[in-house]
Amino acid sequence: MPALNRVQLIGRLGKDPEGKFTPTGRQVTHFSLAVSNRWKSKDGEMKEYTEWVNIEAWGRLGEICQEYLKKGSLVFVEGRLKTEKYEDKGETKYYTKVVALSLQFLDKRPADEPVMAVEEDAGEYEA
């Protein structure tokens, strides 16, 4: 049976990206993305809900995120879901993040052209 693991999000960064290097020297950058949903309730009142999504970008894509993105930047992220686990006081906990495969800057630039970056190697990476 075929499977598909693909996520597309548009949102704003909640804080500046944080980059680090793995022991093998590969760049990894993390940031949170606020993705909002708006609707009108039955009584005509506008409602909004914001979902916070953790994003991880590797290699050159991570470098680009670290260099050009900042809190409040509007971006389109395409990637795949990845769930990891960790131990907290003897209890196993899980969290899900999006591993970015491509990213497009949606903030207006002087030439009004959006800039797009794509990770060339979208395989598994060490943490």
Strand 91-105 relative to strand 46-58, pairing: parallel
What is the rounded CA–CA span in Å between residue 93 and residue 109? 41
pTM of this prediction exceeds 0.85: no
Tokens matching residue 118: 């794509």
Instruction: Please tell me the least confidently modeled range out of 26-35, 46-55, 112-121.
Output: 112-121
**What number of helices (H) and strands (E) belong to the chain?**
1, 7
Closest CA to 125 of 57, 70, 72, 67: 57
Cα(first)–Cα(last) distance of the chain, in Å? Answer: 30
- Residue by residue, DSSP assigns 49-90 as EEEEEEEEEEHHHHHHHHHH--TT-EEEEEEEEEEEEEEETT
**Domain residue ranges of the chain, discontinuous segments joined by +:** 7-40+47-118
For the segment 11-48, what is each residue's pLDDT rounded down to a tens digit? 999 999 999 999 999 999 999 999 999 999 999 999 99
Q: Which helix H or strand E contains 93, and what residues bound it?
A: strand 91-105
CA distance 81 to 49: 21
Q: Quick: pLDDT tens for 71-83.
A: 999 999 999 999 9
Mean pLDDT of 100-108: 91
- 7-40+47-118: CATH topology: OB fold (Dihydrolipoamide Acetyltransferase, E2P) (2.40.50)
C-alpha angle with apex 17: 14 to 23, nearest 5 degrees? 145
